[in-house]
Chains A and B, each alone.
Chain A
Amino acid sequence: MANLVSIISGVIFGLGLAISGMINPAKVIGFLDIFGNWDPSLAFVMGGGVGVTAISFRLILKRSTPLFGGSFHLPTASDLDGRLLGGAAIFGIGWGLSGLCPGPAFASLAYLDPKIGLFVVALIVGSYLARFIQARA
């Protein structure tokens, strides 16, 4: 059952990314470029998404366990450290260069463009590198 939940959640996420236009790097860049022909669409995606999670997450987390067993896995860190800020800053630079964040990058693999494949390979290598360095630190 948990596996079915994962796949359904993934499908809806991918569909949402495609419908929202966020799988289109040009559209993301259109939001980030506030001096150009500004496209505020991304703010509506965030508004819709955060609207749903802000209302429902607190209700869900009143339960002692998820519906299909196990426990809730939530981050416990609360400090604003250099890792958080540095990581977010580095991610933003890569996002601005490409117009691709991890969700749209993986979802776009569906469209079989080898350039997206290249980006995803680089993303996985970068992820490995960060985890490798953190594991040794």
Chain B
Amino acid sequence: MENFTPIPSFIGGLLIGLSAVILLLGQGRLAGISGILGGLLSAGSGDRPWRLLFFIGLIAGAAGYAMLGGDISTVDINPFRLSGNTQMTVLLLGGLLVGFGTQMGSGCTSGHGICGLGRFSVRSLVATGTFMATAGLTVVLVRYVFGGA
């Protein structure tokens, strides 16, 4: 467990919670990323500006971390050590499934996880348990059955 970072991870979690508090208290919206995205994609949705601004802020926050000296050198987007074309295919497939699944299931790690669990929603609890389980199973299959690193 040498990669374990309990303190920064807990502090980061508190900040994500604070972000959700600000959005709900300030303008009555849940800080679920797939939910905010979904409204951007809906035809005729009249409330795009706040959603776009949230995304701009999200990217600016991550950029700010690096500019203020935060360490992003450990970021590794190829954890299974896949080779060129295989990595591209897996990234494309992963992105499609993440997009499709979060819209179909009405939420992701933030919407069901952080916000839904905070509202004691049974739907969110079941959804979170489900995506954690299939994600864990997928990693085990890729790593130990199909032989990724």
Does A26 contact B33, Cβ atoms closer than 8 Å? no
CB-CB nearest in chain A for B24: A60
Q: Are A47 and B10 in contact (CB under 8 A)?
A: yes
A106 to B63, CA, bound (A): 11
Contact in complex: A18, B56 (CB < 8 Å): no
- Enumerate A51-109 residues with CB–CB distance to B below 8 Å: 51-54, 56-57, 60-61, 63, 65-75, 77-80, 83-103, 105-109
Complex Cα gap A127–B132 (Å): 20
Contact residues of A: prevailing secondary structure: helix
CB within 8 Å of A: which B104-120 residues? 104-110, 112-115, 117-120
Q: Are A88 and B57 in contact (CB under 8 A)?
A: no
- Chain A interface: which size bin? 35 or more
Cross-interface CB contact of B126 among A36, A61, A84, A123, cutoff 8 Å: A84
Q: Is the CB of A92 within 8 A of B131?
A: yes
Chain A residues positioned under 8 Å from B133 (CB to CB): 92
Which of chain A's residues have a CB closer than 8 A to the CB of B136?
A: 32-34, 92, 96
For the complex formed, measure the closest distance between the CB of A40 and the CB atoms of chain B, giving whole angstroms. 6
Contact of A68 (CB < 8 Å), options: B26, B41, B65, B123: B26
Complex contact A87–B105 (CB within 8 A):
yes
Interface residues of A in 1-40 (CB under 8 A from B): 1-3, 5-27, 29-30, 32-40
Chain B residues 1-44 with CB under 8 Å of chain A are: 1-6, 8-31, 33-34, 37-38, 41-42
* Contact indicator B9/A42 (Cβ below 8 Å): yes
9 residue pairs of the A-B complex, CB under 8 angstroms, read: A23-B62, A39-B1, A63-B25, A88-B131, A89-B101, A91-B105, A98-B98, A102-B110, A120-B95
**What is A's interface to B at a CB cutoff of 8 Å?**
1-3, 5-27, 29-30, 32-42, 44-54, 56-57, 60-61, 63, 65-75, 77-80, 83-103, 105-111, 113, 115-116, 118-131, 134
Known: A14-B59, A26-B79; 12 extra A-B contacts, CB below 8 A, are: A7-B56, A10-B56, A11-B57, A17-B62, A18-B70, A34-B136, A48-B14, A77-B123, A92-B138, A101-B33, A102-B99, A122-B96
Binding site for A on B (CB under 8 A): 1-6, 8-31, 33-34, 37-38, 41-42, 49-51, 53-66, 70, 72, 74-80, 87-88, 90-110, 112-115, 117-123, 126-128, 130-140, 142-144
**Nearest 4 pairs between A and B by C-beta?**
A10-B57, A87-B105, A14-B61, A20-B12
